[in-house]
Amino acid sequence: MSKPVVATASLAGCFGCHMSILDIDDRILKLIELVEFNKSPIDDIKTFTKQCDIGLIEGGCCNSENVENLKLFRKNCKILISVGECAIMGGLPAMRNGIPVKECLEEAYLKCPTVDDNIIPNDDELPMILDRVYPCHEIVKIDYFLPGCPPRADLIWEALVALLTGKELELPYEVVKFD
């Protein structure tokens, strides 16, 4: 029987959640035994090559590329999981929410004392900035949420094992944290 396939992505995130996945220490060897990775920064596969069972999403959506990527994951993954505060509620990038994006851009590119070319980047190759940072579940259906900044390695591990083995998820108090 083929192994379940996992894909991961970091949208508007800091890769901290991915670091936390690696933080499961030697259980990573077990994980490799349990699953196969597809599109993910972990194995550097850039495009989906097959349907995946589980997609782990780090980060929310702050630009058009994030949105496209997230939709691609939804299309290619049976189960999609928001991993970390940014995916769940926008996180640090969402501190700009509530402030008009025009003000943010002006502050960053025009008024900021360290810029001197005074232009808001507008190359068509650049992703377009969204009016605010969107939690992933506002854009596509998300099946599970793993909070934390980053989620504790144990939480990610326990959740994955539960999903892969179909066992009941029983989490100790210490592993569900929002920071």
**Binding residues vs other proteins (CB under 8 A):** 64, 67, 71, 82, 85, 88-92, 94-95, 97-102, 105-106, 120-122, 124, 128-132, 134-135, 137-142, 144-147, 149, 171, 173-174, 176-179
Residue 73 gets the label, from left (phi > 0), alpha (psi -120 to 50) or beta, of alpha
Smallest distance from the beta carbon of 89 to other proteins, in angstroms?
6
Smallest distance from the beta carbon of 177 to other proteins, in angstroms?
7
Indicate the residue among 55 and 90 with the shorter CB distance to other proteins. 90
Smallest distance from the beta carbon of 116 to other proteins, in angstroms?
18
Indicate the residue among 37 and 88 with the shorter CB distance to other proteins. 88
158-164: long-range pairs with CB below 8 Å, 24+: 159/81, 160/6, 160/31, 160/34, 160/35, 160/54, 161/34, 163/54, 163/79, 164/4, 164/34, 164/35, 164/54
Indicate the residue among 3 and 75 with the shorter CB distance to other proteins. 75
Smallest distance from the beta carbon of 47 to other proteins, in angstroms?
17
Helix 153-165, helix 27-34: angle, nearest 10: 30
Indicate the residue among 37 and 157 with the shorter CB distance to other proteins. 157
Kind and range of the H or E element at 54?
A: strand 52-58
